Structure 1
Amino acid sequence: MSIAEFTSLHALCPHVADTTRDEAAERIARSAADLAAGRTVVLFDPAVGEAVLVVAAEFATTAALAFMIRHTSGFVKVTVPEEDRLRLQLPSMWALPGSRARCELTVTVDAAEGIGTGISAADRAYTIRTIADVTAGPASLTRPGHVAPVALGSNEIGTTGAVARIMARAGLRPLAAMCELVSPVDETAMAGESDSIAFARAHSLAFVSAFDLAVF
């Protein structure tokens, strides 16, 4: 990371940036351990000024998805690396020529069996676990659906890149359910850094920043 990039991240994420290396390492370690244990964590991305709730796709329970949907925008996504995207035959969602998106979404999906309409927390949790199941193939999913896979590139940056990095720290494959956290004090806005930290404390969740993962 260059000095300019470090300075920019520091300005965007002052509370997290003004902590010690040991504190950052502790945030990373706790978040990784919680993900490996199937728990939800809060990940803040200073580059966009928003946070996401994250849970490993293979551990996506009905309770975890209900909590995620209740406190977020509700547009649940799943990070999917290239090999799994090929395994499941997930083409990119069509975009206008010249348009630029923050992340590359594929066609949306539902599990082909074992669900109802696909929109409930239970149904979406089952679909997410199906995506993470290495024995699942293209026929295991129907298209379109209620879960949005996000394609992970080899040199991923941004929020999805930070998710992939914390999953790697947890010793897990980079398939994770994620959704943007709504401010707990203003339901019309997304959660900023202070909101994200306060939310994590209120719900006893691990908090980590993309700043931590980029610098440490």
Structure 2
Amino acid sequence: YGRGLICLTLTQDRCRQLNLPLMVNQNRSSHGTAFTLSIEAATGVTTGISAADRARTIQAAVAHDARPDHLVQPGHIFPLMAQAGGVLTRAGHTEAGCDLAALA
């Protein structure tokens, strides 16, 4: 039973590739979590909230050939932009997620 806020860690390069801007210009959260605008797959989803729809959105965002037009906003997936340098730059879950994915 998965539910709640589903986040997707993405590198700065991937966020640029998808034209995903940060949610706010001045981040004042205590942890500095870099949320971008929320996303949804442009095709292959219904309401966007089901586990299958969320998985489809994540697949669209991480596909090798992903493009901005493969996504719409707002959506039910919340991308997080990792800092360049990974956990050596910022010891956060966002950077750890990207570092682990790169090592896999």
TM-score range, shorter chain: 0.7 to 0.9
1:161 is aligned, of 88, 95, 102, to: 95
Q: Deviations over 1:113-161 (max 9, x none)?
A: 1100100000000000000012121111110000000001113321122
Q: CA deviation at 1:163?
A: 1.9
Unaligned segments of structure 1, at least 5 residues: 1-66, 171-216
**Which of the pair has more CA radius of gyration?**
1
TM-score by length of structure 1 reads 0.43
2:13 aligned counterpart, secondary structure? helix
Could you tell me how far apart the structure 1 residues matched to 2:95 and 2:56 are? 24
- How large is the Cα RMSD of the aligned pairs? 1.7
TM-score by length of structure 2 reads 0.84
Could you tell me how far apart the structure 2 residues matched to 1:114 and 1:131 are? 13
Fraction of identical pairs, as percent: 34
Unaligned segments of structure 2, at least 5 residues: none
Q: Which amino acid aligns with 2:13?
A: E
Q: Deviations over 1:67-114 (max 9, x none)?
A: 5x15xxx1000011011101110000026x562352100000100011
1:126 is aligned, of 56, 74, 84, to: 56
Structure 1 segments, 4+ long, off by >3 Å, are none
Residue 99 of structure 1: aligned partner: 28
Residue 7 of structure 1: aligned partner: none
Could you tell me how far apart the structure 1 residues matched to 2:62 and 2:30 are? 24
Could you tell me how far apart the structure 2 residues matched to 1:101 and 1:127 are? 28
Q: How is 1:1-216 mapped onto 2 (pairs within 5 angstroms)?
A: 67=1, 69-70=2-3, 74-94=4-24, 97=26, 99-102=28-31, 103-154=33-84, 155-170=89-104
